Amino acid sequence: MKVNRVDGFGKDGVVTTNYAKRSSAGFTLIELVIVIALILIATGVAVLSLRMGLASSRANSGVQATLSQLRLAREEAIGRRMEYRVTFLLPATIQTERILQGQAPVVERSITLPPEIQFLTAPGNPSPGPDGFGTGKAAIDFDQANGGGGTIIFFLPDGTALDAVGDPNDGVVYISHARGLAPSHAISLWGATGRFKVWQLTTTGVPKWN
């Protein structure tokens, strides 16, 4: 038998070659690069999924925080027979004050939404906004009876929500992630009844509030 290149003989006299040894030795460079690329892709997908999950959780917390401040101010106005003022301050602050006749307003509390959650309108917001309020352009859009854009709500002891001139304060506030990593939300208010409603923007197909 003729062998072009011989490295030696095995126990049973079987000829072994460098070629045979190479074929059974580990990964090639290309295979290693492919494995690393797959690992990086999987890691990237996992990190993005984690970030989106965290963003969604923060957005939900922001919605609940906003809703709770509105409800609490209304309940306090009814329960304490006092007027309460809620002011929305960009980018992400809600201030609640107690109004006393003949005295300066008393700040009850001031809260800030979770990190990266703001009063913000998302691109492509449908018009009109939730409950038919506004055009979806202003992030804080109360006082619809006077053209919209209002940022202050007065809650009275009878449970109604009025604007600065005493009209029912219908409107909406939008809550979104600053980098668009979570669905946009909105809270609408009917001033005559003090009723709130939470909305979420669906972007599948034609964007709409549900």
**Per-residue pLDDT reduced to its tens digit, 166-176:** 999 999 999 99
36 assigned to some structural domain:
yes
Nearest CA among 65, 112, 113, 108 for reference residue 83: 108
Token pair in block for residue 105: 């307003």
Nearest CA among 201, 199, 209 for reference residue 66: 199
Amino acid at 163: D
For the whole model, what pTM was predicted?
A: 0.78
7 assigned to some structural domain:
no
3 assigned to some structural domain:
no
User: Who contacts 136 (Cβ-Cβ below 8 Å, separation ≥6)?
Assistant: 121, 125, 126, 127, 128, 129, 174
18 assigned to some structural domain:
no
d(CA 21, CA 15): 12
Chain segment 2-45, per-residue pLDDT in tens: 444 445 445 555 555 554 444 445 668 888 888 888 888 888 77
- Half-sphere CA count of 94, side-chain side, radius 13 A: 26
53 assigned to some structural domain:
yes
12 assigned to some structural domain:
no
Question: Mean pLDDT score of the chain, rounded to an integer?
Answer: 88
Count of domains forming the chain: 1
Chain segment 33-87, per-residue pLDDT in tens: 888 888 888 887 777 777 777 899 999 999 999 999 999 999 999 999 999 999 9
Residue 113, domain CATH: 3.55.40.10
Domain limits at 115? 29-209
